[in-house]
A and B are shown apart, each in its own frame.
Chain A
Amino acid sequence: MAPATCTAGYERFLRLKAPHVADFELVNDEGETPEDLLTKAKVLVIGAGGLGCEILKNLAMSGFRNIDVIDMDTIDVSNLNRQFLFRSKDVGRPKAEVAAEFIRQRSPDINIAAHYKRIQDMPEEFYLGLTLIVCGLDSVEARRWINAYVYGLAERHGFEGFKPIVDGGTEGLMGNMRVILPRHNACFECGLSMYPPKTTYPICTIANTPRLPEHCIEWASVLEWPRVFPDTKLDGDNVDHISWVVEQAAQRAASFGIAGVTFSLAQGVVKNIIPAIASTNAIIAAACVNEAFKLVTSCNPFLDNSMLYTGDSGVYFCIYPLEQVENCLVCGQKEGSLTASSESTLDELVAALKEHSAFQLKAPSLTCAGVNLYFQNPKALEEQTRPNLAKKLRDLFASGSTLTVTDPTLPTGLRVTVTFSDA
């Protein structure tokens, strides 16, 4: 337990009943107080950048005692203006490690572990050991991955795999926050269409009628680089690569009378860097950590389930319950099970999926663990997978395997677990 002087801020919220939480308990069935829950909770912070630094600081000062932080990046000079856990001597070192060292030094009673890795590289046991995840990411790709992964954990492990995600994101003076309860409310993928795809420019503009320095940078990076270096992928973190892009782009800009091609702009365009404002990160990170605090302790109602902060036209907060999307590629999938003889054929299984009253599919396509078992279309794929129809199920997959089935009658996938009756 932390010294009393440190807890004076938040303890009052944990020792008094809040008016809006009917089921708040000063001691739960397991004999734990809200403070015990807070002390035991193990929180993973994904991203130790602008949001991550704020999130870590807030968690440490709100009574959380077990924190893991993961980030695959190293510190760049340009991070120092807002990523306040880092100093110029730290440039080049892994963000997660430096951030963890800072927190450890400031609050020695906190167990903080750093992971200089990709989130995809952590084992399942690691994720199962968590209480909650707070994301401070700038990438839609990483959010999609963790969302789908955590959804799968809850599906396979029940409560033991239930890891709520508090997801923060900012762009300039705007930000958003979501509380994602896997299998209970809208998942990240449900709201994916609200995220604008990467800013791109018409390729004909880039090629022929550039008006902006960005057009010239895209010309150099998208058209010229692959032509001149067909075997090398352009690396936004490689100074030589970006310098080459700047040189090419600057020449082109000069010939079109365009000003403003700089190294940092080129890096921003190539890496799709989103402009960051320190205070917006602070607002969103603070909101994220308050939700994490409430989720863990049940002291007050938590957000249902999305918050939007618009600071670019006055100040406006919008709170809205995002609904689950029927055709969501993650949580919109339906579950089903079938029992079949291991001696029966895939053709018979397809027929069962069409005839079985629980499914009534029209033209199912089937895959199992990445193997394409049978596709109705396109013709070339149907012809290649057709021989599987005559094969026995036991020659295609093991009993208890989950098949991913798609069909025109289904909004998204159907996951059918097939058990062999003669297994």
Chain B
Amino acid sequence: MRRIWNQKKTAAEAQKTQTSESPAKLRLQKELGELAVTSDTSIEMSASNITQFTMTYRPTEGYYSGGEFRFQFDIGDGYPHEAPKVKCLQTIYHPNIDTEGHICLNILREDWKPVLNIQAVIFGLHMLFQEPNPDDPLNKDAAKLMVDDAAEFGRTVRSTMRGRRIGTVDYDHVLAEPSQGGRHY
């Protein structure tokens, strides 16, 4: 066994180092340290625990422009073998997000690959707000309305963003405060 060890001279010397970060933590450190987000997006986190943070997205175009949408990210020990867990923190009216905050985004579940990263997930979430996808609905009623009557869907989105009850659901007020730079409508 010693002969096996000595085969590679460069590896054979002990290093005076301390325990490594776990692979998941190291990957997270690298990703966060190099994360580049656009001005419509911000990350809120505490330096004491970087495995959980929130992302706020303020779309400037599309049905949801003027809104301020918050998502909880949870990066587990299985990362990047396992996808980050992401939920929407507000009750919103969206074809691909249910009122519990579950998000139907393929790369968060069935299409997750370790080569993807937090940046890709943020980009995917942006896409959901730029182009909601009524073909794979989570909120069926919203998706149906979007297909049947896009104008009425747009009006419903606007009114729910101000905070409103439809049926048994109380939608949260999600319009951005003017001081935070979002365009106001």
Contacts and interface: CB of A to CB of B under 8 A. Distances in A.
B34 A406 contact: yes
B136 A141 contact: no
Interface residues of A, number: 75
A335 B15 contact: yes
A89 interface: no
B146 to A, nearest CB: 14
Given A161-B14, A380-B42, A363 B109 contact: no
A144 B17 contact: no
B98 A413 contact: no
Nearest to A144: B23
Interface stretch (A61-69, A99-107, A190-198, A252-260): A190-198
B16 interface: yes
A132 B4 CA distance: 13
A184 B4 contact: yes
A288 to B, nearest CB: 17
A51 to B, nearest CB: 20
Interface string B94-135: 001010101110101110111100000000000000000000
Nearest to A365: B33
A193 B114 contact: yes
Interface residue SS majority, chain B: loop
Contacts of A195: 81
Contacts of B19: 152, 156, 369, 402
Contacts of A410: 30
A366 B6 CA distance: 33
Given A183-B8, A335-B15, A379 B34 contact: no
A380 B1 CA distance: 50
Nearest to A148: B23
Contacts of A407: 33
B45 interface: yes
A14 B32 CA distance: 53
A207 B142 CA distance: 14
B5 A162 contact: yes
Contact of A404 (B21, B24, B113): B21
Residue among B5, B8, B104 with max Cβ neighbours from chain A (10 Å)? B5
21 contacts: A141-B78, A148-B20, A154-B11, A156-B14, A159-B12, A193-B115, A197-B81, A197-B112, A203-B138, A296-B1, A329-B26, A363-B33, A367-B29, A369-B18, A376-B34, A377-B36, A378-B32, A378-B42, A381-B50, A413-B20, A417-B16
Interface of A: 23, 37, 131-132, 140-141, 144-145, 148, 151-152, 154-159, 161-162, 164, 181, 183-184, 189, 192-193, 195, 197-198, 200-205, 207-208, 223, 226-227, 295-296, 298, 329-330, 333, 335, 363-365, 367, 369-370, 372, 375-381, 384-385, 400-402, 404, 406-408, 410, 412-413, 415, 417
